[in-house]
Amino acid sequence: MESDNIDIRPMAGAMGAEVTGIDLGGELSNSMREAIHQAFLDKQMIVFRDQSLSAAQQVEVARLFGKPAVYPYLAGVDGVPEAHELIKTPEDPVNFGGVWHSDTTYKPEPDMGTVLYACEVPDSGGDTLFTNTYLAYDALSDGMKAMLDGLIAVNDSEKLYPGGRAARLDKLSAMKGAYNDGAEAMRSEHPVVRSHPETGRKSLFVNGSHTVQFKDMTVEESKPLLDFLSGHAVRPEFTCRLRWQPGTVAVWDNRCTQHFAVNDYPDDYRRMRRVTIEGDKPV
């Protein structure tokens, strides 16, 4: 697809596209904005290479898709509260986002999208995996779809943080100073199957990182079905893989994707900057 000088090329059969011929820090015509937004809806995750963005400019990129959000658990950077850095050093045994998840599903109105900018990346490793949860839903049997219809998932911000987020961030030394110790835990209920407000398509909206159980069921009762759905959602045929380079920008739709930051660079350094975009209540 081409608009002005934009070229949009698929990254994989399941999802993802690289967008070339555009400077996100410059002026964008209406046709450019429309082409970018349509690619975002069609491909669920879009990538721009060789960009040079300040934190403030990255927030403006987020405004192409909606209202930038303030993440409750990390401080902003460069005087920009909506932008925060995700850093892993060679001394840190864990990384940020190293599990399959959709951003902030524990919020009453989860963030609809994410803009991630690569500041410094390893020579190899540090890729991000994505999965298309439209396809995950479509591949379910009619019987499973009928069972999931009306089922509500309970999502909790603390599921992955035994001992609290501060204990987790003790293993991410470069990020400890950015942690917002006063932010309260969040817990929200959302449909297991949600309808996208723009495309109308249904997607599977549970993940192993934040979904703890189903409403009116115990954790133990919920676990077998939740484990199945979490594993089903990330089948290889639903996924694509993004290799980062300095200056790469990725924008993805949290309403119909999950992602996984691969922690395979133990002796290297990675610094990313993230802005999320406010969403609405899933239905």
List domains and CATH numbers for the chain. 2-277 (3.60.130.10)
pLDDT category of residue 1 using cuts at 50, 70 and 90: very low
Terminus-to-terminus CA distance in the chain, angstroms? 31
Q: What is the pLDDT at residue 122?
A: 97
Q: What is the pLDDT at residue 160?
A: 76
- For residue 64, CA distances in Å to 59, 79, 80, 183, 208 come to 9, 21, 17, 28, 30
The DSSP 8-state label assigned to residue 41 in this structure reads: H
What are the residue numbers of the active site?
101, 103, 259, 274
What sign for the dihedral angle of Cα 36, 80, 187, 103? positive
The helix (run of H) or strand (run of E) holding residue 132 is strand 128-132
What sign for the dihedral angle of Cα 112, 15, 121, 267? positive
Phi, psi values for residue 38, rounded to 5°: -65, -40
pLDDT in tens, 195-238: 999 999 999 999 999 999 999 999 999 999 999 999 999 999 99
The helix (run of H) or strand (run of E) holding residue 189 is strand 187-191
Parallel, antiparallel or unpaired: strands 45-48 and 17-20: parallel
**What is the spatial distance between Cα 237 and Cα 36, in angstroms, rounded to a whole number?**
25
Taking a C-beta distance cutoff of 8 angstroms, is the pair 236, 14 a contact?
Answer: no
Query: What is the overall mean pLDDT for the chain?
Result: 93
Residues 6+ apart with CB under 8 A from 137: 145, 193, 202, 203, 204
- Of all residues in the chain, the percent with pLDDT exceeding 70 is 93
